[in-house]
């Protein structure tokens, strides 16, 4: 049995019972030597990582379905969750990746503000230089007019 098929079956069982012991459920259906029982912990951790289920106890043996998991069960289960078309890796972004993205956004905002400041300074500098040039032109005209009298 494939991992996806088992997780679909497990998610359906959790959805029907709202909370259950994963190891008891798996032991009642499969032998303890099967591939499923060997990989069970990592597969259940994947359900929790994808926020389809939560651990209901401290030993991490009981699973409880989340609202997100209920949503995907109504949409068709774990297989539909995988076929969704959204990048599953986006859902698994760690806190450090989110902090890096936030830091980059803050840096971009700071750079934009600095460039806007430089634009404003440049604008006012050109206005001042143009005004000084205009005043010098007027003074030059005044001198020319005074010499011709």
Residue with the two structure tokens 């634009």: 119
> Would you place residue 90 in the very low, low, confident or very high pLDDT band (cuts 50, 70, 90)?
low
Cβ–Cβ under 8 Å, residues 51 and 66: yes
Instruction: Pick from 6-15, 31-40, 81-90 the range whose average pLDDT is largest.
Output: 6-15
What's residue 85's pLDDT? 43
Q: Which residue has the higher pLDDT, 88 or 105?
A: 105
Prediction pTM value: 0.55
Mention every residue, 6+ apart, whose C-beta is less than 8 A from residue 77. 8, 11, 12
Domain with residues 3-91, CATH architecture = Orthogonal Bundle (1.10)
Neighbours of 82 (CB within 10 A): 14
Q: How large is the average pLDDT for residues 29-52?
A: 82
Exposed/middle/buried for 40, CB within 10 Å: 0-12, 13-18, 19+?
buried
What's residue 28's pLDDT? 85
Cα angle 27, 22, 5; round to 5: 85
Q: Which residue has the higher pLDDT, 74 or 118?
A: 118
**Average of per-residue pLDDT values in the chain:** 86
What's residue 1's pLDDT? 52
> Would you place residue 92 in the very low, low, confident or very high pLDDT band (cuts 50, 70, 90)?
low
Q: pLDDT of 121-144, one tens digit each? A: 999 999 999 999 999 999 999 999
* Phi, psi of 63, deg, nearest 5: -110, 145
Q: What's the distance, CA 19 to chain centroid?
A: 29
């Amino acid at each position: 049995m494939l991992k996806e098929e088992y997780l679909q079956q497990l998610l359906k069982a959790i959805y029907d019972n709202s909370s259950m012991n994963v190891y008891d459920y798996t032991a009642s259906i499969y032998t303890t030597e099967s591939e499923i029982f060997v990989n069970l912990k990592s597969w259940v951790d994947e359900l929790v990582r994808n926020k389809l289920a939560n651990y209901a106890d401290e030993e991490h043996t009981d699973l409880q379905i989340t609202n997100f998991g209920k949503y995907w069960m109504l949409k068709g289960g774990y297989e539909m969750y995988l076929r969704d078309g959204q990048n599953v890796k986006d859902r698994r972004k760690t806190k450090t990746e989110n902090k890096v993205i936030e830091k980059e956004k803050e840096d971009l905002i700071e750079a934009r503000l600095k460039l806007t400041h430089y634009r404003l300074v440049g604008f006012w500098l050109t206005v001042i230089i143009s005004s000084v040039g205009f005043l010098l032109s007027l003074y030059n005209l005044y001198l020319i007019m005074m010499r011709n009298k």
